[in-house]
Amino acid sequence: MRFGFRLDYSALVNFSGLQYVQVFSASAPTTVGGFSHVLDIALSVPTLGSPPHTLTFTAARGSGGPSSTPVAFMQTSNVVRVEINVGANTAGNVRYWINHAFTDPPDGTIDDAGAGLDTAAFQGVIAATVGLGSQSGPFRSAQTGNALVFDQIESSDDVLFYDDFSSGAQ
């Protein structure tokens, strides 16, 4: 499955304390080892003087706990394009692109040190969520009322997302 979205975080201010918010989640139809998400992505905003913003990709592994990969990115603007390919099965992996298209080589791959994520037991992705998810207390305190904008949302599965979903059709 392929997913993509653009995230505009230009309205975020007051960077103090560890602030993070989940911005993407791919849910599986089956829970394995206490995990029901094949992939979660969280945005971490830096404290003053800290490194740049970070996206943390947390991918499930059928053979154990999740595998987390932080990806720091420097921006000349406060907009980032995220593209993800979630590959299921015993040799599954997550490939990601930051400000690049699927046609470019991926910026990174999460695959449990080359052994594959063994996501076969999860039976694929049944739902995907783009938007604000779990938030840290400091994020809620500092960012309440500040917009985090998601747009250019896309998926390779027209059942998970469909065209013109903002038209109000029921």
DSSP string computed for 92-139: -EEEEEESS-TTSPPSEEESTTTT----GGGTS-SEEEES--SB-HHH
Instruction: Please give the residue that has the higher pLDDT: either 143 or 115.
Output: 143
Torsion of CA 58, 36, 158, 92, to 10 degrees: 60
Instruction: Give residue 105's pLDDT.
Output: 92
Instruction: Tell me the residue range of the domain where 44 lies.
Output: 2-150
| 163 is a domain residue | no
| 37 is a domain residue | yes
Q: For the purposes of burial, counting CB atoms within 10 Å of the CB of 24, is it exposed (0-12), middle (13-18) or buried (19 or more)?
A: buried
| 132 is a domain residue | yes
Its pTM surpasses 0.85: no
| 160 is a domain residue | no
| 167 is a domain residue | no
| 165 is a domain residue | no
| 125 is a domain residue | yes
pLDDT bracket for residue 97 (50, 70, 90): very high
| 98 is a domain residue | yes
> Each residue of 18-40: pLDDT tens digit?
788 889 888 777 777 677 777 88
> 74-83, 89-98, 121-130: which has the minimum mean pLDDT?
121-130
Number of domains in the chain: 1
